[in-house]
A and B are shown apart, each in its own frame.
Chain A
Amino acid sequence: MSPTEVLIQQLLNGLTIGAYLALIALGYTMVYGIIELINFAHGDLFTFGFLISLSLFRLYGATGTLVGFELVWLFTTVLLLTMLLTGILNVVIDRIAYKPLRKAPRLAPLITAVGMSFALENIFANWYGSSQINYPDFFPRVDILREWFQMDTFVLFTTQDLLLVGVTIPLMIGLRYFVQRTKLGKAMRASAQNANAAAIMGINVERVIMTTFFIGGALAGAAGMIFGNFLHTGRYLMGFDAGLFAFTAAVFGGIGNITGAMLGGLIIGLIKAFSDQYLAAQWTRAVIFAILILVLVFRPQGLLGQGEAEKA
């Protein structure tokens, strides 16, 4: 592998990792934007998406690579169901652990969020066991550059990478459209900026909060499923790591800022890929957090944040 090929490979890796981190980061940032809560259980929704999609595939009886029409409809159905169920789970988490504390001091829901995370992780451990979980190649794996384009290169970009990008980017575009253009999306931004003002406009802020939790959960669920189809292995604690990186991405981009979360995800993904390659994987966390600290020292509001008043 030539140095150029290594570089290109790591760019591709960074973008794919960044894409799913960005999906998770969006959930952190949207919930923070509207109720100023760091939903520490959010990373575990990623695990839930991984596990529930695997269960859904198994429920149907799928064991190996899908092809043709079955691939299209089964994959789409499982993706939509995974998003739906993970979204509902996040709404339920809010109902149980955060909603009763809406008017309590901010530390209280933070503690219940940590508790919720532990509870979910233990449920997952009982559900799927505590060892590594193998996620089969449901989505076919083709080396695109070599097999489709007959290129003689060591750079590996498979249909599974393409899947990751192909699911992530439309979801992000869809989210941006929803938040910027639709009535409910505008109500979401309005509620984030001034909840009382939104209420006297006739906006049911609690319903907006519920929608926010649902969307954040659905995105994390989608991330968990495509992660499974991309890396094929997971564990009941996998959401802790992914959540930590995604949360970092959200803070990096400016917590509460949706575009910032997408950008932060991509940047953290790239840093991770380059650090894994050119330093060593065991240094990656240290590098990421060192950069985070530097960013926060010089720009506490994050890359795209605009201070305290800026939300959503």
Chain B
Amino acid sequence: MSHMLELENVHSFYGHIHALKGVSLHVDEGEIVTLIGSNGAGKSTTIRTISGLLNPRRGTVILEDQRIDGLPAHQVAGLGVGQAPEGRWIFPKLTVLENLEMGAFSRNDSDGIADDLAYAFDLFPRLKERIHQQGGTLSGGEQQMLAIGRALMARPRLLLLDEPSMGLAPMLVELIFETVTNINRQGMTILLVEQNALMALQVAHRGYVLQTGEIVLGGDAKELQTNEQVRKAYLGEE
């Protein structure tokens, strides 16, 4: 059986910086896989390489049975890759509703879109309260909810979440991770990039550790939580 997503020996550059040095990983259908690592390890670069905002210099990215490396971002999105990017990238001058509509840009099934809109409001009732407010006026937590809701509006087969907990108060972090688990239970395959390694490993099935552009460890999330090296480097233990 083929994987939902597979990266094989991917090399990516940011200008002249060799940001990914042969990254290989895979995500299977129905899994939450987390990619952890410190600042500058290449986590967001991996996400950008998958979503087509960055084209790898070498290596392959395969979504189910199709190669997607080298495709422009809007085509990758059209193939079913949804993304809540680092920094959220909310459209500040569009309303909450318009932001969500943009998430469904590639779709034409108005009934299905209406269902998914209801689902997004169900997940995040706060968004419904703010439906006609401009995206730029939302708080950080609300913007994160909107970013995730917007990504779900495409009804993606694979959801990329890049640092969803960044800059949020602990209570909101909790809420976001709960939602991630919920979405996954309903069948969504998720690749979760996080600096908050502890939380990420608690919700994920499997994980990879990225260090200066290379995968240095990978395996079952429970095992990674108890791994000496991980505990020292990312879970803040001496």
Least CB distance from A19 to B in Å reads 26
Q: Which residues of chain A come closer than 8 Å to B136, judged between CB atoms? A: 309
Q: Report B24-37 CB contacts with A as 1/0, cut-off 8 Å.
A: 00000000000000
Closest 9 CB pairs of A and B: A197-B89, A202-B106, A202-B77, A199-B73, A193-B91, A204-B74, A202-B105, A200-B83, A201-B102
Q: Which residues of chain A come closer than 8 Å to B72, judged between CB atoms? A: 199, 204
Q: Does B112 contact A (CB under 8 A)?
A: no
**Whole-angstrom distance between the alpha carbons of A189 and B106 in the complex?**
16
B interface residues, Cβ below 8 angstroms from A: 51-53, 72-74, 76-78, 83, 85, 89-94, 98, 101-103, 105-106, 136, 150, 154
In the complex, are the beta carbons of A196 and B53 less than 8 A apart? yes
In the complex, residue of chain B having the shortest beta-carbon distance to the beta carbon of A180: B98
Question: In the complex, which of the residues A190, A200, A203, A311 has the most CB atoms of chain B within 10 Å of its own CB atom?
Answer: A200
Q: Please judge, given known A-B contacts A183-B101, A183-B105, A197-B89, whether A203 and B74 are in contact too, CB under 8 Å.
A: yes
Q: Which residues of chain B come closer than 8 Å to A201, judged between CB atoms? A: 74, 77, 102-103, 105-106, 150, 154
Q: Does A113 contact B (CB under 8 A)?
A: no
In the complex, are the beta carbons of B94 and A193 less than 8 A apart? yes
Q: Does A198 contact B (CB under 8 A)?
A: yes
- A sample of 9 inter-chain contacts (CB < 8 A) reads A186-B102, A189-B94, A196-B85, A197-B89, A199-B72, A200-B73, A201-B154, A202-B105, A202-B106
**Whole-angstrom distance between the alpha carbons of A28 and B228 in the complex?**
60
Q: Which residues of chain A come closer than 8 Å to B73, judged between CB atoms? A: 196, 199-200
In the complex, are the beta carbons of A310 and B93 less than 8 A apart? yes
In the complex, are the beta carbons of A187 and B105 less than 8 A apart? yes
**Whole-angstrom distance between the alpha carbons of A288 and B207 in the complex?**
64
Q: Does A312 contact B (CB under 8 A)?
A: yes
What is the number of residues of chain A that contact chain B, defined by CB distance less than 8 Å?
Answer: 21
**Whole-angstrom distance between the alpha carbons of A189 and B105 in the complex?**
13
**Whole-angstrom distance between the alpha carbons of A194 and B94 in the complex?**
11
Q: Does A205 contact B (CB under 8 A)?
A: yes
**Whole-angstrom distance between the alpha carbons of A196 and B94 in the complex?**
15
Q: Which residues of chain B come closer than 8 Å to A200, judged between CB atoms? A: 51, 53, 73-74, 76-77, 83, 85, 89
Q: Which residues of chain B come closer than 8 Å to A197, judged between CB atoms? A: 85, 89-91
Question: In the complex, which of the residues B78, B98, B105, B150 has the most CB atoms of chain A within 10 Å of its own CB atom?
Answer: B105
Q: Which residues of chain B come closer than 8 Å to A199, judged between CB atoms? A: 52-53, 72-74, 77
Least CB distance from A199 to B in Å reads 4
**Whole-angstrom distance between the alpha carbons of A196 and B73 in the complex?**
8
In the complex, are the beta carbons of A190 and B77 less than 8 A apart? no
**Whole-angstrom distance between the alpha carbons of A202 and B52 in the complex?**
11
Q: Please judge, given known A-B contacts A201-B150, A202-B78, whether A312 and B89 are in contact too, CB under 8 Å.
A: no
**Whole-angstrom distance between the alpha carbons of A193 and B99 in the complex?**
11
